[in-house]
Every structure is written in structure tokens, then in C-alpha cells.
Structure 1
Amino acid sequence: MKCYLFCLGYKGYFVLQELVRLNKLELICGVVSCEDTTQESYFENIKEICLKNNVKFFHKTMLNKIDKNKIAIAIAWRWIIKDFSQVIVMHDSLLPRYRGFNPLVTSLINGDECIGVSILYGINEYDKGDIIAQRKLNISYPITIWEAILKISYLYAELCVEILEKISKGQKILGVPQEQKKATYSLWRDDKDYFIQWKWSSKKIVRFVDAVGFPYDGAKVLFGGNVLRVLRAEIFEDVRVVNRDYGKVIFMDNGCCVVVCKKGLVKLCEVVDMQGKQWNAPKFRIRFE
């Protein structure tokens, strides 16, 4: 039996590239994709690979034209897949940890020493299905979300090829029930969740800036009623501040604001306005809201 791949984003694109490189495209019967306004979707790239290699390509709106007696494998897919004989999901965490939304972002903000991918059976309750296989890798900080995506894309490709080969040989795909008591959840994010919280430690703030950057919307601060985007930040050597008011600028270092956090100091190395124009502090006495 062959499978349909539901592909989105760089991870979906990378898996298809690897299937081309390994001459494994014959293991799939088609690809489903669509545009995604929340981040770069790689829709055109995915479509181009399919057209160049004579792989059936379907937009998300064309599901009525697909044989749903097949298996669907979801790669970075953000929507519920219904009515297929089986649905297999690839998830950016070592389940049962970080069920839910943007788990890779959450793990980087939390400073986890390893990240990973789980492949599991899709069921009605999200990310609770039996685990088929997992891969993990160790990381060190600083690391941006884009660097982490590049790294785990290789894990996605390895797991996808492994499962496709088993399915093509008619092998039974066994899953292991998750340990429910060890489950944790990662919540969805909206616009408010991109603002830096100065009550955090300097280490967490720097991890946050790196974790919500491209292809996400970027870390933000509010000053004078205007939203600014922080593209790059680093830890600055702490000093003894007896009235530690979070969010106040304590120093200027080469034109960059050094801000007081609950623990430590953060240097805002690159700040732009919402139009992408470089922002420079108009004065020394600044409090970021």
C-alpha cells in the first residue's frame, strides 16, 4: 500500500527533497499541500517537486478527489485529516512531552538539552496516539528556531522513509501507548505571546528571542505606544542593582540598550520597527513596557 503525504513548511519540503534524493518517491501515491499565512509555507516548492517528478499533487481544497482508503502521513500539517483508513502524524517533540502546539518553540524557550520528533497514530484527542518511533538529538545554546528546524528536518526524513518502506512491504506498523502520567502540553500562541516578559531571567529572554524568530513573527517589546521587534539579543554581564525595576535600561553599549531583567541583564543587539527599519533609542532613560 502507498501513502499520501500531507506536507507543509520547510520540513515537508525537506522530506520530499530527501525522497527524491533517495529515489523513494515511488513509495507515495500523492502529495497534499496548501498555502499557510502563519509562516512560510513552501507551497510552491512542494508543488514544483511533485510536478517535476510526476507525483500527483493536490491542494488542500481538492481532498474529494483523493482515494481515502489509503494511509495519510502528516508532516508539519496544521489541520485535522478525516476519513482516511489510517492517519500517521509527525510531531516536533519527544512525546508524551509537549503535546499540542509549537512544541519545538516551547522546548527552546525552556532550554531543553535535546529536541526530537515522534511519529504516532492520529486519534481524536490530539497527540495522544500510540507512538510508532522517535528520534532525538542534543543541542547547545544559543540556537535559533530556524537552526533547530534545519536539524530536526533530517529526523523527519529518516522517520518518514522508515515508515514508508515498512508500509510498502506490508509490514505491520506497531505503536506503543504513551505514558499518560508523563504527559505535558504546549499551548497555542497568539500575538500577545510574542512580547518579552522582563520578569524572566536574561537567559530565558535570549532563548525566547531566538525561539520565536524567523519563520515566526519575532520577539516584541512596547515603547512609547509603539511595537518594536527584537531580532537579536545577548546576555550582558550582570551588576548589582538594588532597585531592580524590570524593563528599565541601565546602560547603553555601542548604541544598544542593556535592559534589567528579574535575573541578569539583556543587551538588545538588533531592534527594528514593524516596517523593518532599524530602531535607535531616542534617549537613555527608557522603560520597555
Structure 2
Amino acid sequence: MKKLKAVFFGTPDFSCPSLELLANHPQIELKLVISMPDRPAGRGQKLQSPPVITYCKDNKIKFYQTENINKDEELLKLLDEVDADFYLVLAFAQFLGSKVLNKPKLGCFNIHTSLLPKYRGAAPIQYALLNGDTETGVSIQKMVKKMDAGDIVKESKLNIAFEETGGQLYTRLKLAASLTLNDFVTDMLNDEVTSYEQDESKVSFAPTLKKEDGHIKFLENDFNTIHNQVRALKPWPGTYCFLNDKRLKVIEISKYDNAGLKPGEVKVADNKILVGCTDSTIRLNMIQLEGKKACRDTDAVNGLTNKFDSFKIS
């Protein structure tokens, strides 16, 4: 029975289903897993291993942690000794230089959670939702020096639901990545890998998100734009506005008919918190005030009306 030797590069929990697929595939010899170093985490700032390393420890898989894969001479020597057929990269958080890219016999392959060349970069899941896309997917590309620019060797598509959040899509794509990887491994084992170049004229980017990207601007945007922002950035970095200069986390919204509020106008009616945007009125269904727990707007109204005579939002 034909077998292929593999090295896996990954760091967060998103990488774990694909790692598990390789670790348990009857025709794959997983020779080594490479990840980032342990980091301080939690209130006590104790060192914590990345989820990928925790999986390796639990399943007795050989691993190596490094801050700089391209300059770690011990690791480069170890990779030569392993002499793998292919490397698989998923959310590793480091770029692979030519020294590493040229080592495996069949090449280095990266799993990316968009339909390349759309949304090259760090946040393809969130940008698909921010832009109101109805479809996304998983692309496996043969890695080159340029970010996410290699030839596509496998692709699978997923429909996006109108109410789907970033967290929900993250989970579905995490599992879809492992299923797509399974199909790609089958192609390699059968010598049936095909590839095609990306269309550079259709490239778009999904750069790293910042907390400030969660600031909702009711004066400037319509309901669909705000709806997409809220769901795309849930759970991270989250969306917010300022109510009477106090930061208000906005967790869930809906369109509210017949309120007739101007953009940025705030009203409390029927125990609901309503805000006007450029084309309609939005209800802030679920919110979190500074220093308080998240709650429904109906539970927050009494506290707000007792505290403020009028409301302004920014």
C-alpha cells in the first residue's frame, strides 16, 4: 500500500481537524508537526501551548516549536532528516522561505479559507461576511513566495446563510478544510493531482482586523452593511458604538419597521432600544454596557432611562 510522508505546520484550534486527519490517515506517515512556541495566557500568565501542540502531546506525535522557521538551523536539519513527500500548512502564523519551500519532494501546500484569488490574507472568513457574500469555501494551493498566490490544487465551496456569524462560519470551514484535505490526499496517493493558476485580475485582500473595525457608524451606513459588520465580527473583535459617550457593545441586531428614525437618532420604545441608520431603523437586540453583563435590550432599558434623560449615539 502506497504511503506518503508528511510534515504539518499549524498553530490554533482551527488547524486541529486537518492535523487529526493526517495523523489518522492509513496511508500518511505524519513525521513531524511544527508550531509556534508556548505563550503566557490567562490571568496568571502561565505558559500555554498552542492547541496543535496540545493535540500532539495528547496523541504522542513528534513536534517542534520555533519562533522563526527559516532561521532555525536545528529544525532545518531535522526537516532534511525527515525527507517528507509533502508539507501541509494551515494557520501557522509564519511565512515559509525558499529554504523550507524547496525541501519536500511533492511541494508545500497551504489550506486557505476562501475561494482564491478572492480574499488573500489573514481574515478571509470575516471579509466574506462583511461583504455580504453568499458563497465561500476552501482552497488548497501549492505554496510560492508570494502570499496565497500559488496554483490551486483543490477547492470546495460552502453556501453562507444570511444570519451566519463569523464564529459559525469559522467552525464550518474548520471542518470543511479537513474534508477538502482528505480529497487532496486521495489525489496525491492516486497520482491524480491537477492544478490551475489563479487569475491575478480577480485578486482581493483580507488584511488583519483591528478592534477599531468593530465601530458601528449609524450615521453613514445602511442596515445590510451594519448587519454584515455585526455578524462578521462576532465573536472577535466584536462590534460597538458609544451611547452618551459610554462604550456599548452591540452583539445582536435586527431591522425594526415603522419607527422612522433619522440616521444616528436613538429612541427607547416598547422596552426596545432603537437607532436610525441611513435606510431604516435598527433594534439593538443584545447589548453589553461598560462594566455590565451582556443582556437583551428589554432588560437594559430601565437602567438606561433611570440614568439618562436623553440619548445620543456615535
What's the TM-score, normalizing by structure 2?
Answer: 0.78
Q: What's 1:58 paired with?
A: 64
Query: Which has the higher relative contact order, 1 or 2, with Cα contacts under 8 A spaced 6 or more apart?
Result: 1
| 1:193 is the counterpart of 2:213 | yes
Q: What's 2:96 paired with?
A: 81
Equivalent pairs counted in the alignment come to: 279
Q: 1:240 to 1:228 in 2, by over 3 A?
A: closer
Larger Rg: 2
* Match 2:184 to one of 148, 156, 163: 163
The aligned amino acid for 2:216 is: I
Q: What's 1:33 paired with?
A: 35
Contact 1:247 1:259 in 2 (8 A): yes
Q: What's 2:14 paired with?
A: 11
Contact 1:33 1:43 in 2 (8 A): no
The aligned amino acid for 2:79 is: D
User: For residues 182 and 23 of structure 1, what CA distance do their matches in structure 2 show?
Assistant: 35
Secondary structure of the 2:212 match is helix
Superposed CA deviations along residues 150-185 of structure 1, whole A, max 9, x for unmatched, are: 111222001222333444x38374421111222222
User: For residues 49 and 217 of structure 2, what CA distance do their matches in structure 1 show?
Assistant: 34
Superposed CA deviations along residues 231-262 of structure 1, whole A, max 9, x for unmatched, are: 22222225444xx2x222133343x4211111
| 1:121 is the counterpart of 2:167 | no
Which structure 1 segments of 5+ residues have no match?
none
Which structure 2 segments of 5+ residues have no match?
42-47
Q: What's 2:267 paired with?
A: 250
Deviation of 1:54 (Å): 2.5
User: For residues 151 and 252 of structure 2, what CA distance do their matches in structure 1 show?
Assistant: 39
Q: 1:52 to 1:277 in 2, by over 3 A?
A: closer
Q: What's 1:146 paired with?
A: 167
Cα RMSD for the two superposed structures = 2.8
Q: What's 2:196 paired with?
A: 176
Q: 1:116 to 1:62 in 2, by over 3 A?
A: same
Q: Percent identity?
A: 20
User: For residues 131 and 288 of structure 1, what CA distance do their matches in structure 2 show?
Assistant: 46
Q: 1:6 to 1:25 in 2, by over 3 A?
A: farther
What's the TM-score, normalizing by structure 1?
Answer: 0.84
Superposed CA deviations along residues 179-200 of structure 1, whole A, max 9, x for unmatched, are: 1222222233222211112122
